[in-house]
Every structure is written in C-alpha cells, then in structure tokens.
Structure 1
Amino acid sequence: MNISTFGQDLLGGFEDFADKLNKFIAVEHDYVEGGLVVALSSQFGSGKSTFLQMWASSLENADDQGEKKIVVQMNAWESDYLGDPLFAIISALVHTIKNQNNEESAGKIINAAKDAGWFVTAIGGQVARKFTGVDPAAAADLAEKKKTKRDEDIPTDAFSLYELRRHAMKSLKSAVKDFVDKTNSGVLFLIDELDRCRPDYAISYL
C-alpha cells in the first residue's frame, strides 16, 4: 500500500508534526542567510520515508496564501556512487521544474550544468591522459558533442584550472539562484536515506 498523504495516516501525529515543522522553517529561515538545513532523526522503520512522502504531498498543495511550494524529493543513496552530489541535486531540480512546465528556467540551468559538467569531464580526461596515455574523452566520443566554446584547449596550470572551475560553478549557481529568486515560496529539497551514504558523500551533500 502506497501511503503518500496525511489522510492515510491511521495512527495520526504526522500531520501535527509537519505543521510544527513548517512553522519552525518559516521562522528560522528569516534568521539564516542562504539555505536552511534541518535534519530529522529517528529509529529504523519509524516512518521517516513515509513522512517525507506525506509532507511533500502536503507542501505541493496550495497553502493559506494560495501559493504552491516547489518540492524536490531525492533519495541520496541512489546517487551514492557519484563523487560529487551536485549534479544529482541539479538533475532532480530540473526534473521538478520541467514537471511544472517551466521549460525556460529548466533550460538555463541545464545549459549552465552542461558547462560545469563538461569542465569536470574534460579536466579528468586530460589528467588521465597525462598519467596513463589514455584519452577517456576521445574514448567516450565526447569531442563530437561539445559546443564550439567548449572545444578550446584547457590550460593545465593549477591557477587556470581553478579559475575555469570557479567560473563554471558560478554560472551554475547563478542560474539556480535566478530561478529560486523568482519563486515566491522558495524551493524545498527533501532528502531521504542520507544516513546510508558514504560519510564524505553525505557531508558534500549538506
């Protein structure tokens, strides 16, 4: 049985807890610069995942002011094999935006993410080629898919690499921030199974 709304909570208690949590976030967010992180901890099998599903369903419905929350649900453990959780988070955000038929905002974030993703892939390829003689980018046939501006040779000195990465990440963050700033209700990320991830991955997630 798929339990996804508070109306299906036969034992009760989850909806009251969600109301208190909503009020807590609304107040605390005014005192936090940037994003607010709240962790929920409970014993295995106590209903954390079910609560998140119920809470997400409630948040996605219109609130007292008639505004709908933008809720991004994620299972962190499903992307635990990645080295960097950033693109798993961005992918989930884009998927949610597309479901709301906001193709313009999704497109801007996707393009910025491609630039950042290309940078990471290209740098990794050059490093691997330097030390192993194997060109992963060529093996994956990525060169044919790059845009003209992404075809330029990447400098290998540390400072230039840092500047390129900083610029790519700044563009991505700017695209996400522009979208968030245009929403009246903000964006909520509900992350499940973070406690099952590798410690370094979980820390990077936060």
Structure 2
Amino acid sequence: MSELSITNAKFSKWQSTHNFSNCKLKRHEYGEFLANYITGEKHGFVLNLNGAWGTGKTEFLKRFYTLLLQRKHPVIYIDAWESDFSKDPLTVVASELLTQLESFNSGIGSEEKTKQVKQFLSKALKGSLIGLAGIASAKLLNDSNIGMETVKQLFEDDSDNFRSQLTKDYAEQIEAIKEIRTGLGQLAEILQQNYSATLPVVVLVDELDRCRPTYAIEMLEVIKHFFSTKNFVFVVATDTKQLCHSIKAVYGNEFESQQYLKRFFDRKASLPEPDLEHYLSSTDFKYPNIDLFPYFSSQPESPTQNAVTVLARAYDLQIRDIDQLINKIDACLRTVDVTKRQSNKTQHINIVALVIGLIEQDKGIDAYSTRTNYYNSKFVPENHSFNVVPELSISEYITRAMSCVILSKETKESGYGQTYEYEYLPDGGVLGLNHSPRQHQAKHNWLMSLSKNTSLYNNKSSQSKYWLWDDLKALIELAGNIE
C-alpha cells in the first residue's frame, strides 16, 4: 500500500511557517476543536468560518491546513480571490481539487477513478454557464438550494425556452455532474484504501469576501451543487457581514442576504477574539535609548506594549490594524533614536499620545487635525467603558496622557514688575496624583511617571528633549506614508 505523502502537498511548507505552535493569537485549542468537529462530518458538509476583516482568517486557515495535513487528511486550499479574474469558478475548484489531490502521490493521477472524474468534468464544463448549470443540476438532482443567479434566469425565460436549452449535449452535461459527485466520493474511498488517507477530504476556501459579488455567489453555487458529495467537507472563510453587503450589491438593499447565505452553509463558526496581550508579548518593543512613558511599574510589559494593548481594545483595532500600527510606531521611534544620537539629549516620548495620534490619523478622526500644542481636541473611542487598572478608566487614561503633550499658558510678573507668558505642562496635582495610600498602586505609579516627565519640561532641563504634540504630529505625518 502506498502512503499519502504530506511532504508533497502543495502547501507543505506551511508545516514549518504556519502551525499552531507558533500561533501568536493562541488559537491552537480552537483549531483542534474545529478540526474534531468538521472531520466528524463526511457527507458534503459546508461550514462558514466567519471573521471580520483583519482578524487573521488567512493565518488561521494556513495553520488549520497544517493541522489537518498532520492528521493525514487530504486537504485542499483554494484562494478564491486569486481566481477572481476567471469567469468559471467550476473550473477553478475542479482544477485545484484534482491537482492538489494528485500532488500527494504520483499514483493518484493514474487511478482509473481519477481519470473518470476528469472525463466527466470535461463534459460538465463543455459550454457551461454556471448559473444555468446550477438551476439544471438542482432540478435534476432534487437539490432545493437553487441559487438566485439561476432563479433570475429561470423567471426571465418562459418554460418552453428553458426546455429547449436542455439539448442532448446539455443532458449529458447534467449526467456528468451526477457522475462527478459519485466519482469524487469513490475517489476519496480509494485514497483511504490505497494510500492510508484519513477521511473526509477537507477543502478550505479563503478570501471569498474579497471577490466580485457575482463571482462569490457563483463560487458558493458551485461548491453546494457540484461538490457537495460523500467524504468531502468544505470550510469557507468569509467576513460574512461584508459578503452580505456584496450580495445586496447584486440583488438590492432590501434583499435578505443573510437568509440567502444559509442556503449554502450547513453551519457557521466564528473565529474567537484574539488574545492581544499574548500576541504583543512576542513583539520586541525595546528602545533602550529612549525614555518612554507613562508606565505601570507593577506590570512586566514595556510602555509601548501596554499602550498598544490598551488602545487597540479602546479603538476596536483588528490584528491587521495592529500590525500596521506596530510598524508605524517602530518607524517613529527609530527616528527618535537617531535624534538622540545626533543631539546627545535624552528623548522623552509620551508613547500613549504617540499611539493615539497614529490611530486617529489612520482612522481620519477630526481631533487629530484640530489638536495643537495649546489646544487638546478630544475624541471618545468606540470602547470607552472599561478600566485599564483599578480606579483608572480608559477615558481618564486617554485624557491624562494627552494633557501631558499640550501646553497651558499663564501670565506672570517678574520681580522687576514686568509681565511674561509662562508655558507649562500639568504637574502631579493637576494630573490627580494622590499620595494617599487609598490610591491604587498601579494607577499611582502611572500618574507618577507622567508627573516625573512633565517636570523635566517645566524645569527646562538642558539635557532633555521633551516631545510635545506638534513634535509627535510631525513624526506621525511621516509614518502615515507607511502602509
């Protein structure tokens, strides 16, 4: 008996680059759970794996591919967006499915059943129009999940015209579709018997929500009507909300797109929320030549890691947003590091203010544009109802930090009777620093670090460069060119 060689799989390299042991989002347990669930289904099961844009669907699917591969399941990965230019998703799915199956072992391509499936696919593809094929196959195969593309065609033609299109060639095409279903199921059994494969065959479809609306719909029709067969399971990863919008773009805003999608999917699963602290813990945020503040001395992570973790939650950032944010922070702090070496002055950076500014600029928040060194525009983030540490709400966290890059002015009189304008940053008293033992230690430490740094500016230290809002904004503008 030959073996199913997982090293020959099309994406076998993912075993080293994408596996759950190096998953920074801690989704290993969920991956195992989902694998156990879907491999218990074997008869044309289609799962919708839902995740919003930027939540790491592709990264998860690649690791899921590796997990299934290591369990000896024949697994197929299809990037739907790569084939978006094609007018025929049936060709795409069929080609990827057979090509990737054959890659596991050279003997699979020479199996008689493989050859038969290819022959029947040729007939099914002969002059096919996917919409019409969908309705015809649904009618002749007693399939109630008829796609809307095809329903429109059916009602736009009278029944006589519809029947006239079912010529002898077309009837053969429908028979071929039935044979494909049967043949694929039998091919899966051959993989088990002759190559020690574990069934079912799992097909992972990615990036469907990025495709043209009509292509995405046709791809779903193809999966449900043509490949919903014994010993095959499909996992289709989508931003379901975005896919619903795409469907409405075709059929109108009043169309019940969510109900329509249920025709294609047997079940829906959602990616769990990522563990941001774990994700960021593996990122190197060390900048030894820069004085970054504020910080919680009771917490082990760096001020940058803490700020990103807290503000990503407040501004509802997705993983892709966070990756981009980290790159911009790194670019900004590299420039600060160069400034330190050139000036030989200690650089004091309010990292919370810098991160807020980067987020505001990326999101196009008005407060970013209207804020100056002397005027603090405020914006309430999406999620503003949690405490960063006991007694320190996210609202106070943002307000206190931002106040430390905004100057206040006061007119004073010198000892010689002359008046002058004095510019200063808030001190500990203004910041709410309370030396009473009743103030929570973590909050106290955080406010103390703010007060310590603002006093350097107020005392006009010649050995220090304290970055105010306008200084930070100049950096942010440059970093905004990085995507």
TM-score by structure 1 length? 0.68
| 2:36 counterpart residue number | 23
| 1:173 counterpart residue number | 181
Q: Would you say the 8 A contact 2:84–2:215 is kept in 1?
A: yes
Q: Would you say the 8 A contact 1:119–1:165 is kept in 2?
A: no
How far apart are the structure 2 equivalents of 1:26 and 1:178?
18
Structure 1 outlier segments of 4+, above 6 Å: none
Q: Could you tell me how far 1:12 is from its partner in structure 2?
A: 4.4
How far apart are the structure 2 equivalents of 1:24 and 1:192?
19
Q: Paired residue for 1:202, among 186, 203, 216? A: 216
Specify the code of the residue in structure 2 equivalent to 1:159. L
Q: Could you tell me how far 1:193 is from its partner in structure 2?
A: 0.2
Q: Could you tell me how far 1:88 is from its partner in structure 2?
A: 0.8
Specify the code of the residue in structure 2 equivalent to 1:92. E
| 1:189 counterpart residue number | 203
Q: With a CA cutoff of 8 Å and minimum separation of 6, indicate the structure with the bigger relative contact order.
A: 1
Q: Would you say the 8 A contact 1:77–1:194 is kept in 2?
A: yes
Q: Would you say the 8 A contact 2:124–2:174 is kept in 1?
A: no
| 2:77 counterpart residue number | 73
- Per-residue displacement from partner, 1:145-201 (whole Å, max 9, x unpaired)? xxxxxxxxxxx9423254132123223223222212443411111111011112232
1:56 is aligned to 2:65: yes
In structure 2, stretches of 5+ residues that fail to align are 1-13, 130-162, 193-197, 221-483
How far apart are the structure 2 equivalents of 1:159 and 1:40?
36
How far apart are the structure 1 equivalents of 2:82 and 2:25?
30
Q: Relative to 1, partners in 2 of residues 1:106 and 1:100: Cα closer, same or farther, differing over 3 Å?
A: farther
Q: Could you tell me how far 1:26 is from its partner in structure 2?
A: 4.0
How far apart are the structure 1 equivalents of 2:83 and 2:205?
12
Q: Would you say the 8 A contact 2:39–2:199 is kept in 1?
A: no
1:159 is aligned to 2:172: no
| 1:115 counterpart residue number | 123
Specify the code of the residue in structure 1 equivalent to 2:97. L
Q: Would you say the 8 A contact 1:119–1:168 is kept in 2?
A: no
Q: Secondary structure at the match of 2:29?
A: helix
Q: Would you say the 8 A contact 2:18–2:59 is kept in 1?
A: yes
| 1:65 counterpart residue number | none
Q: Would you say the 8 A contact 1:6–1:54 is kept in 2?
A: yes
1:13 is aligned to 2:20: no
Q: Would you say the 8 A contact 1:76–1:191 is kept in 2?
A: yes
Q: Relative to 1, partners in 2 of residues 1:26 and 1:178: Cα closer, same or farther, differing over 3 Å?
A: closer
How far apart are the structure 1 equivalents of 2:115 and 2:165?
31
Q: Relative to 1, partners in 2 of residues 1:159 and 1:43: Cα closer, same or farther, differing over 3 Å?
A: closer
| 1:143 counterpart residue number | none
Q: Secondary structure at the match of 2:205?
A: strand
- Identical pairs, percent: 27
How far apart are the structure 1 equivalents of 2:63 and 2:166?
47
| 1:47 counterpart residue number | 56
> Which structure shows the higher helix fraction?
1
Q: Secondary structure at the match of 1:38?
A: strand
| 1:142 counterpart residue number | none
How far apart are the structure 1 equivalents of 2:83 and 2:38?
27
Specify the code of the residue in structure 1 equivalent to 2:181. K
Q: Could you tell me how far 1:7 is from its partner in structure 2?
A: 2.0
TM-score by structure 2 length? 0.31
Q: Secondary structure at the match of 1:59?
A: helix
| 2:463 counterpart residue number | none
Q: Radius of gyration: which is bigger?
A: 2
Q: Relative to 1, partners in 2 of residues 1:162 and 1:112: Cα closer, same or farther, differing over 3 Å?
A: closer
Q: Could you tell me how far 1:112 is from its partner in structure 2?
A: 2.1
Specify the code of the residue in structure 1 equivalent to 2:67. S
Specify the code of the residue in structure 2 equivalent to 1:20. F
Specify the code of the residue in structure 2 equivalent to 1:75. D
How far apart are the structure 1 equivalents of 2:183 and 2:64?
27
Q: Would you say the 8 A contact 2:77–2:203 is kept in 1?
A: yes
| 2:90 counterpart residue number | 86
- Per-residue displacement from partner, 1:113-134 (whole Å, max 9, x unpaired)? 222223539xxxxxxxxxxxxx
How far apart are the structure 1 equivalents of 2:182 and 2:68?
25
Q: Would you say the 8 A contact 1:69–1:188 is kept in 2?
A: yes
| 1:98 counterpart residue number | 102
Q: Could you tell me how far 1:20 is from its partner in structure 2?
A: 1.6
- Per-residue displacement from partner, 1:64-101 (whole Å, max 9, x unpaired)? xxxx1010000011222333311211111111221122
